Chains A and B, each alone.
Chain A
Amino acid sequence: MSKVKSLADLRKMRDELQTKVSLREKSDHPDKLVQVKVSMATCGIASGAKEVMNHMIEEMDRQAIDAIVTQTGCMGYCYAEPTIEVTLPNSAPVVFGHVDNKKANEIIEKYIIRGELVDGIIPVNYETVKENKNE
């Protein structure tokens, strides 16, 4: 029977990760990592956000993409769940709606790796006249 993984194995993995992290910090671009936030409230979970998050973690692990994946609450786009917010280093956050595993692959492949925008963006950064208090 194969040995069951324990925290000791994690300690071994840490050294490998540490080398990678210090390499990155010494590079010319000490930018932060790609950040992915998955909306994980009742609405998101019921629409499959958990599976999408799991899938994204597996894919980014497999493709060795430097990213951190975290959870967040409801962003108010319940109609478009599962939604994810992707922040590339030095750019504004972009929110994608109706993200299933297929869409997640497209986002990783096109937006995260190549920086090309893909369909399904929910515009969040516009200002309306009413909200603009400079008037």
Chain B
Amino acid sequence: MKDLSMHIMDIVQNSVRAKAENVTLFIVMDEYWLTITVQDDGTGMDEVTLQKVRDPFYTSRTTRKVGMGIPLIQQNAELTGGHVEIESTLGVGTTLTAQFGRKHIDRPPMGDIASTAAMMMTGNDGVNLQFEVQCGDEQFAISTNEVKEVLGDVDIRLPKVTSFLKEMIEENLRELNIEFD
């Protein structure tokens, strides 16, 4: 994975596949740490499964035999002095927290978070994504449900909507001087 947005998309996709209806993505940045949290209300995992998810040769899929998503984000987090924490309860949901050393030379760049967030909001049918960014005192938040409410009977999956959301998130983050460098 070249950048953190790719990891984010990957982890959120896990939640979508776990039949989550609500997914919250927090990105919090302070002077030393960049923390990404993905919280969902999907199927969750039992303790036995939870112990196996960090193993690249474990997956719940049947289409292939490897599951690299979590091992890859864990590797990148650990390379920057951070770590990955996963909490899960069967039937309740899962929370994954990945902490990266913000100024560590090995931290991958954030990448295009605006387009990633826009695509996740419009590209996953039936999932409400709450996207929140916090950097110092500045905050930005948007959710799929808010957008759907505004759109009414217009399909959220239309390319025009995605493009609009992407620009909107980009401009708002710039306005708040939130830069992930």
Q: How far is the CB of B176 from chain A (nearest CB, A)?
A: 9
Report the nearest B residue to A15, measured CB to CB: B154
Are B10 and A60 in touch, CB under 8 angstroms? no
**Which listed residue (A4, A21, A46, A75) contacts B1, Cβ 8 A?**
A46
B123-166 residues with Cβ-Cβ distance < 8 A to A are 123-125, 146-147, 150-155, 157-165
Between A50, A58, A61, the greatest number of chain B beta carbons within 10 A of the residue's beta carbon is seen for: A50
List, in ascending order, chain B residues with CB within 8 A of A11's CB.
150
List, in ascending order, chain B residues with CB within 8 A of A67's CB.
158-159
Q: Assuming the A-B contacts A41-B13, A46-B6, are A61 and B115 also in contact, with contact meaning beta carbons closer than 8 angstroms in the complex?
A: no
Interface size of B in residues (CB-CB distance below 8 Å): 46
Q: Assuming the A-B contacts A5-B168, A74-B63, are A18 and B119 also in contact, with contact meaning beta carbons closer than 8 angstroms in the complex?
A: no
**Complex formed: what's the CA distance from A38 to B147 in Å?**
22
Residues of A bordering B, CB below 8 Å: 4-7, 9-11, 13-14, 17-18, 21, 33, 38, 40-43, 45-46, 50, 53-54, 56-58, 60-61, 65-71, 73-76, 78
Q: Can you pick out 11 interface pairs between chain A and chain B where the beta carbons lie within 8 Å of each other? A: A13-B160, A18-B153, A33-B155, A40-B9, A45-B6, A45-B10, A45-B13, A46-B72, A57-B162, A61-B160, A68-B159
B82-127 residues with Cβ-Cβ distance < 8 A to A are 112, 115-116, 119-120, 122-125
Are B163 and A57 in touch, CB under 8 angstroms? yes
Q: Assuming the A-B contacts A4-B172, A17-B154, are A45 and B9 also in contact, with contact meaning beta carbons closer than 8 angstroms in the complex?
A: yes
**Complex formed: what's the CA distance from A60 to B162 in Å?**
11
Report the nearest A residue to B65, measured CB to CB: A78
- Contacts beyond the supplied A50-B6, A50-B115: 19 A-B pairs with Cβ under 8 Å: A5-B164, A7-B150, A10-B147, A10-B164, A10-B165, A11-B150, A13-B160, A17-B154, A21-B153, A42-B68, A45-B1, A66-B158, A67-B159, A69-B123, A71-B119, A71-B124, A76-B63, A76-B64, A78-B64
**Complex formed: what's the CA distance from A69 to B13 in Å?**
15
Q: Assuming the A-B contacts A40-B9, A50-B116, A58-B163, are A7 and B155 also in contact, with contact meaning beta carbons closer than 8 angstroms in the complex?
A: no
Are A7 and B171 in touch, CB under 8 angstroms? no
Are A50 and B164 in touch, CB under 8 angstroms? no
List, in ascending order, chain A residues with CB within 8 A of B161's CB.
10, 13, 17
List, in ascending order, chain B residues with CB within 8 A of A70's CB.
122-125, 157
Is B175's CB within 8 Å of the partner chain A?
yes
Report the nearest B residue to A64, measured CB to CB: B160
